[in-house]
């Protein structure tokens, strides 16, 4: 966007509006540039809002990455200029990533949808014409210090997005598994489904009433209890499998190693994948519950917000350090193949033919699986705007820096 275009828009519109297609650095309390606030043009805003409202996808559905209006309230309270821009119906995009800020400065920023339909430009579905290049120039405005809540929620959104990708990979693996333990895990599944439904109801209720009532607090506490219970149970189960796997990988060699790896994969891999999937779902639900408590505390117990944010940060660290289920299974299979190669020909092909057959067939099955399409590294951002009913809306959209 050129200076002349800025002036035209400023003259034709509200003088208090931020310059369109510009960005403002977002600073930490220490003055470090860690993100940016992007200001979209009206034309781009209309196209993006139309995408969000008429063609909802997983990234903009409730609890698939959505943030309630309190995110905008926190940001607006920090900078009056930002609040004025939101009130004047400008669409802002908040990104908490120094890499993206670098991309903004060198002109390599790309905005994209998870479905891959937006890459670098906004295209009108009706005309298929490029409506606007998503390139942003620096605004002649000093950087804005983002409140701690903004950084924590951006981190939480990024964590939830990461967990969604893990869950998608687990889902793909489970399609080929015949023996599922859904009956054994039905109670845990039911608890999580019920808890997430309560979180969705609370989110809608809070959006309508604008407050966290006492009965909403009770519902949130009950939902969190079920989520924490499921989370603790699944962590124990996943950790148990991980401990057994590490013991085999470290101690068992040759025939014993091949046998123990094969036995563990045959007997418990399906249950482990189910446990890992439930752990991922419970982790996602736990982050969402933590965000709901932050909304509650911002209204009723502001002094506790800092402690809540520290707990959320610790929780995100725990989630990020959780055992990688796909990596464990791959390590076990690789160890089984290596142990098989340590056995002599007669032991491998005569005396232990079935063991050899099991391991080789599993390896062949893995090789025949379609390769995953590499996912470009993205960072979630929060898009904020006011709709026609003067309600503040916010959803998550991915941003990426072009190579």
**Domain co-membership, 18 together with 69:** yes
**Domain co-membership, 103 together with 190:** no
Distance between CA atoms of residues 267 and 278, nearest Å: 19
Q: 372 exposed, middle or buried (CB, 10 Å; 0-12, 13-18, 19+)? A: exposed
- Residues near 189 by beta carbon (within 8 Å), at least 6 away in sequence: 182, 278
**R_g over Cα of the chain:** 25
Task: Quickly tell me which residue has 């009532």 as its tokens.
Answer: 213
Domain around 234: 166-368
Q: Which of 8, 18, 1 is nearest to 89 (CA)?
A: 18
Q: Which of 158, 7, 42 is nearest to 97 (CA)?
A: 158
**Residue-wise burial string across 264-286, b where 16 or more C-beta atoms lie within 10 A, e elsewhere:** bbeeebbbbbbbbbbbbbbbbbb
**Domain co-membership, 135 together with 269:** no
60 phi and psi, to 5 degrees? -115, 0
**Residue-wise burial string across 176-201, b where 16 or more C-beta atoms lie within 10 A, e elsewhere:** eeeeeeeeebeebeebbeebbebbee
Domain membership flag for residue 160: no
CA distances from 57 to 50, 66, 179, 358 (A): 12, 11, 31, 41
Q: What is the pLDDT of residues 74-119, one digit of tens each?
A: 787 777 788 888 888 899 988 888 888 888 887 766 665 433 333 3
Distance between CA atoms of residues 265 and 244, nearest Å: 11
Bridge partners (DSSP) listed for residue 381: 397
**Domain co-membership, 174 together with 209:** yes
Q: 394 exposed, middle or buried (CB, 10 Å; 0-12, 13-18, 19+)? A: buried
pLDDT of residue 233: 92
3-state secondary structure of 89: coil
Angular region, 179: left φ>0, alpha ψ -120 to 50, beta rest: beta
**Domain co-membership, 53 together with 131:** yes
* CA end-to-end distance (rounded Å), the chain: 22
For the chain, which residues score pLDDT lower than 70?
1-16, 52-70, 108-134, 157-184, 207, 323, 364-378, 400-403
Contact 31, 370 (CB under 8 A): no
Distance between CA atoms of residues 81 and 84, nearest Å: 5
**Domain co-membership, 363 together with 382:** no
For the chain, what is the domain count? 2
> How many alpha carbons fall within 13 Å on the CB side of residue 383?
24
**Domain co-membership, 311 together with 386:** no
Domain membership flag for residue 153: no
Domain membership flag for residue 54: yes
**Domain co-membership, 382 together with 259:** no
pLDDT of residue 214: 93
3-state secondary structure of 142: coil
Domain membership flag for residue 158: no
**Domain co-membership, 10 together with 82:** yes
pLDDT of residue 244: 95
Q: 335 exposed, middle or buried (CB, 10 Å; 0-12, 13-18, 19+)? A: buried
235 phi and psi, to 5 degrees? -65, -40
pLDDT of residue 366: 61
Distance between CA atoms of residues 88 and 39, nearest Å: 12
pLDDT of residue 63: 34
Domain membership flag for residue 289: yes
Bridge partners (DSSP) listed for residue 383: 93, 395
**Domain co-membership, 176 together with 131:** no
Distance between CA atoms of residues 122 and 111, nearest Å: 9
Contact 234, 278 (CB under 8 A): yes
Domain membership flag for residue 154: no
**Domain co-membership, 238 together with 362:** yes
Domain membership flag for residue 12: yes
**Domain co-membership, 205 together with 59:** no
CA distances from 353 to 38, 72, 259, 322, 346 (A): 63, 64, 12, 36, 9
Q: What is the pLDDT of residues 302-327, one digit of tens each?
A: 778 778 878 877 887 787 777 677 78
Contact 199, 223 (CB under 8 A): yes
pLDDT of residue 240: 93
Domain membership flag for residue 308: yes
């Amino acid at each position: 966007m050129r200076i002349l275009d800025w002036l035209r828009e400023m003259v034709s519109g509200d003088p208090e509006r931020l310059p369109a297609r510009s960005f403002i650095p977002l600073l930490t309390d220490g003055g470090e540039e860690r993100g940016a606030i992007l200001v979209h043009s009206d034309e781009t805003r209309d196209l993006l809002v139309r995408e969000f409202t008429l063609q909802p996808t997983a990234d903009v559905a409730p609890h698939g990455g959505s943030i309630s209006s309190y995110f905008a309230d926190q940001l607006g309270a920090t900078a009056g200029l930002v609040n004025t821009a939101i009130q004047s119906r400008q669409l802002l995009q908040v990104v908490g990533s120094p890499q993206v800020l670098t991309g903004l400065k060198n002109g390599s920023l790309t905005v994209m949808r998870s479905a891959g339909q937006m890459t670098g430009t906004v295209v009108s579905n009706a005309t298929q014409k490029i409506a606007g290049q998503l390139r942003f120039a620096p605004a002649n405005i000093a950087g804005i210090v983002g409140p701690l809540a903004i950084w924590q929620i951006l981190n939480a959104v990024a964590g939830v997005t990461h967990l969604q990708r893990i869950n998608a990979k687990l889902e793909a693996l489970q399609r080929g598994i015949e023996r599922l333990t859904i009956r054994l895990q039905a109670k845990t599944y039911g608890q999580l489904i019920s808890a997430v439904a309560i979180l969705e109801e609370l989110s809608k209720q809070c959006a309508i009433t604008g407050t966290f009532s006492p009965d909403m607090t009770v519902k949130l506490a009950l939902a969190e209890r079920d989520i924490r219970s499921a989370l603790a149970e699944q962590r124990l189960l996943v950790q148990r499998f991980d401990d057994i796997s590490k013991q085999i990988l470290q101690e068992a060699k040759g025939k014993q190693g091949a046998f123990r790896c094969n036995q563990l994969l045959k007997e418990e891999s399906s249950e482990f994948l189910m446990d890992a999937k439930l752990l991922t779902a419970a982790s996602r639900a736990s982050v969402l519950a933590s965000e709901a408590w932050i909304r509650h505390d911002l209204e009723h117990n502001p002094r506790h917000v800092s402690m809540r944010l520290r707990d959320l940060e610790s929780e995100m660290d725990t989630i990020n350090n959780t055992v990688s289920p796909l990596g464990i299974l791959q390590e076990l299979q690789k160890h089984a193949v290596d142990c098989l190669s340590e056995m002599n020909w007669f032991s491998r092909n005569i005396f232990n033919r079935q063991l050899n057959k099991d391991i080789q067939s599993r390896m062949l099955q893995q090789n025949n699986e379609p390769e995953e399409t590499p996912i470009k590294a993205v960072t979630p951002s929060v898009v904020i705007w006011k709709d026609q009913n003067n309600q503040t809306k916010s959803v998550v959209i991915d941003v990426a820096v072009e190579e």
